[in-house]
Amino acid sequence: MNTRQIDSDYIAHTYARFPLEIVSGEGAVVTGADGKQYLDFGSGIAVNTFGTADSEWIDAVTKQLSLFQHTSNLYYSKPCAELAKMLCERTGMKKVFFCNSGAEANECAIKLARAYGETKGEGYYNIIALKNSFHGRTLATLAATGQDVFHEKFQPLPGGFVFAEANNTESLRKVAENNKCCAVMLETVQGEGGINVLTDEFMNTVREVAEKHDLLIVVDEVQTGNGRTGKLYSYMHYGFTPDVFTTAKGLGGGLPIGACVMGEKAENLFSPGDNGSTFGGNPVVCAGAVNILSRLTDEFISEVAEKGEYLKKNLESISGVTEVSGRGFMLGLLSEKDSAEIIAEAREKGLLLLKAKNKVRLLPPLTVTKEQIDKAVEIIAECVNG
């Protein structure tokens, strides 16, 4: 039996997979079981920051792997301590909680927000989230996700989430006035929601409303983080520091990690026993993440911003393309042709793309070259106009 048949027989049917099995890769190129090579503009959904089979990252991971692969959080281990220090030093934040995924990092942020609400008085448990957001698949993070399609079938969801319209300052003000709240939680570029960038005006209002109503600002950097948008973390485009941010996907370079990063207002909300994770802070994963973060230098990230601009401009110049949204290497494309058709045809031509709502989503590895960008744009142009 082939992999696709076994998968279909034995894997829970929660994914609509593309008809392609990946067997190996190098950099921005992956090889399929069909023997064909594909330009990978999905990076395992913004995970493979330095592409596939990056040798420096493999060295960092395997070096730790040969020392010890795991210990419990009852003991100290260097890679996670080192990673936490780096995260705080690069961002001005104070403390880190490590876990294994974006959803878990957001669960941690939600717990922090609730703990903050407790300090405000009776009933201040509501978290303002945005319509069209995506924060994960666990029950609480689903409840924080402002898209009804994800909620059907799973009622009742945990309560205490209220929703404002993204980029609608009036809506945000009203929701904050009308509810007893502890936090506002958002993605600066809504990823699964269709690559929608929050405006400077809206983010300024978030800060003003948070100040007025004493709210924690929680930024979900799970998809936007780790250089993806042309800044180390996407909130840095707006010139402020949140009280809490979460990150995952690209931080591990391909191994599962989540981190909830706390600023001054949040660093002392937890006491021993308030949160935990068996695998959180795993030394192998953290050794890989230390390698990733140390290579995400300001210089490297400004190249990402520049290459992202280049990709965006070239996509915009394709006839038939009506909109390119996003920042850096997190872009969404709309054209006169259906996105699913473009994605299917591009795959046939050797380019892997993703979808976000009705848009084609592009999340190439940050190391993708200009030649590879040119090739991808050429294929997309053929598909849009084919």
- The contact set with ligand PLP (CB under 6 A) reads 101-103, 106, 134-136, 187, 191-192, 220, 222-223, 248-249
Are the CB atoms for 112 and 216 separated by under 8 Å?
yes
- Joined together, the tokens standing for residue 273 give 């026993």
Q: What angle do CA 364, 370, 375 make, to 5 degrees?
A: 75
Of residues 37 and 147, the one with the C-beta less far from ligand PLP: 147
Q: In the numeric block, which tokens belong to residue 246?
A: 């979460």
Nearest approach in angstroms of CB 188 to ligand PLP is 10
Q: Helix H segments across 268-369?
A: 283-295, 298-316, 339-348
Nearer to ligand PLP, 25 or 102 (CB): 102
For the record, the structure tokens of 69 come out as 């692969």
Beta strands in 56-194 (DSSP E): 95-99, 126-130, 161-164, 181-186, 189-190
Residue whose Cβ sits closest to ligand PLP? 102
Q: Cite the beta strand spans of the chain per DSSP E.
A: 22-26, 29-32, 37-40, 95-99, 126-130, 161-164, 181-186, 189-190, 196-197, 216-220, 244-247, 258-262, 321-327, 330-335, 351-352, 354-356, 359-362
Is 32 or 230 the residue whose CB approaches ligand PLP more closely? 230
Rounded to a whole number of angstroms, the minimum distance from the CB of residue 157 to ligand PLP is 16
- Tell me whether residue 120 or residue 137 sits nearer to ligand PLP (CB atom): 137
Q: Min. distance of Cβ 74 from ligand PLP in angstroms? A: 25
The DSSP secondary-structure symbol of 131 reads B
The distance of closest approach from Cβ of residue 323 to ligand PLP in the complex, given in angstroms and rounded to an integer, is 21
